[in-house]
């Protein structure tokens, strides 16, 4: 039978009780080095190591082996806050500029960023709210850029304008880079090598008159991108055809406030072939 105070065998221990300091607890706080960060291996569960070289900085190792830096601190209202600073940069090269949240970080860069965030907190800035607002703004910009990509705008132009108002909308779509089937419910196919394929993820607002002049000149000399060439020589008709269809689309985009400046304002229609 074990001796214990509850059974009246041993006297009550009035000494203060301290939690057992295990080896795992000792290893949870260390003065980190880049070499040590590279050596830490993954485990079955995520684990964190507090860096003694910077206040509130932790090195996190995920079960997948992914490594990152994060900060843990109290927000102005007293609630706990956590900021994932960025992944651990394993290439061994130091950053040239100021580190920012989200980019790969070396240990020294993470410490520098941690000190900068603590300085903002000392000035009364709610850093966590600022970072979340910035991320939402970046996400909104990405969504807007995706909606204003050339291919997405071409699809909108065909479906909302060319298809209901013009008879030869199939030809317009193919020149711009989309192939529609006979079934109205099927999704259009992006023609390989076409403008929709070439400028798939490019915002229409970033397309300049120089870009348009280049593709129109290409159509004149070697053919419209993505379309079979019937006449292998120089063709003014091809240049005029691409100019007309592209300018019609960009005029519509300007009227829909998708762009603020029409790049075709400085591009003249190629001259017709002399007979």
Q: Give the domain extent around 232.
A: 147-266
Task: Say whether both 227 and 189 belong to one domain.
Answer: yes
Q: What percentage of the chain has pLDDT greater than the value 70?
A: 85
Cα 29 from Cα 23, distance rounded (Å):
11
The per-residue pLDDT for range 130-164, each reduced to its tens digit, is: 878 877 776 666 556 667 889 999 999 999 999 99
Is the four-CA dihedral 134, 140, 146, 150 of positive or negative sign?
Answer: negative
Number of domains in the chain: 2
The yes-or-no verdict on residue 183 having pLDDT over 80 is: no
The secondary structure of residue 40, as a DSSP letter, is P
CATH of the domain at 99: 3.30.160.390
pTM of the model: 0.51
Residue 180: left if φ>0, alpha if ψ -120 to 50, beta else—which one? beta
The per-residue pLDDT for range 2-57, each reduced to its tens digit, is: 455 445 555 555 554 444 444 444 448 889 999 999 999 999 999 999 999 998 89
Task: Say whether both 155 and 225 belong to one domain.
Answer: yes
How many residues in total does the chain contain?
275
Instruction: Report yes or no on 207 lying in a domain.
Output: yes
Task: Say whether both 75 and 179 belong to one domain.
Answer: no
Instruction: Report yes or no on 153 lying in a domain.
Output: yes
Tokens 């090598």, residue located: 193
The per-residue pLDDT for range 186-213, each reduced to its tens digit, is: 788 999 999 999 998 888 989 999 999 9
At residue 103, the pLDDT reads: 87
The yes-or-no verdict on residue 59 having pLDDT over 90 is: yes
């Amino acid at each position: 039978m074990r001796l214990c105070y509850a059974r009246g065998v041993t006297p009550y221990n009035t000494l203060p009780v301290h939690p057992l300091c295990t080896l795992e607890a000792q290893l949870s706080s260390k003065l980190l080095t880049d070499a040590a960060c590279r050596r830490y291996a993954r485990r079955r569960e995520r684990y964190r190591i507090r860096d003694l070289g910077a206040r509130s900085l932790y090195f996190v190792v995920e079960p997948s082996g992914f490594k990152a830096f994060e900060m843990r601190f109290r927000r102005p209202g007293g609630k706990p806050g956590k900021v994932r600073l960025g992944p651990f940069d394993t290439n061994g090269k130091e950053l040239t500029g100021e580190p920012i949240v989200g980019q790969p970080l070396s240990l020294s860069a993470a410490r520098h960023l941690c000190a900068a965030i603590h300085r903002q907190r000392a000035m009364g800035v709610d850093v966590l709210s600022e970072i979340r607002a910035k991320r939402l703004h970046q996400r909104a910009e990405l969504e807007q850029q995706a909606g204003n990509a050339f291919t997405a705008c071409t699809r909108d132009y065909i479906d909302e304008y060319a298809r209901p108002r013009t008879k030869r909308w199939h030809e317009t779509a193919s020149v711009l880079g989309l192939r529609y089937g006979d079934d109205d419910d099927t999704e259009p196919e992006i023609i390989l090598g076409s403008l929709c394929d070439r400028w798939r993820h490019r915002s229409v607002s970033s397309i300049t008159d120089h870009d348009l002049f280049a593709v129109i000149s290409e159509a004149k000399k070697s053919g419209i991108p993505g379309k079979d060439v019937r006449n292998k020589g120089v063709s003014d008709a091809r240049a005029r055809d691409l100019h007309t269809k592209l300018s019609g689309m960009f005029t519509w985009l300007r009227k829909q406030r998708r762009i603020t400046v029409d790049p075709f304002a400085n591009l003249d229609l190629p001259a017709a072939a002399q007979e």
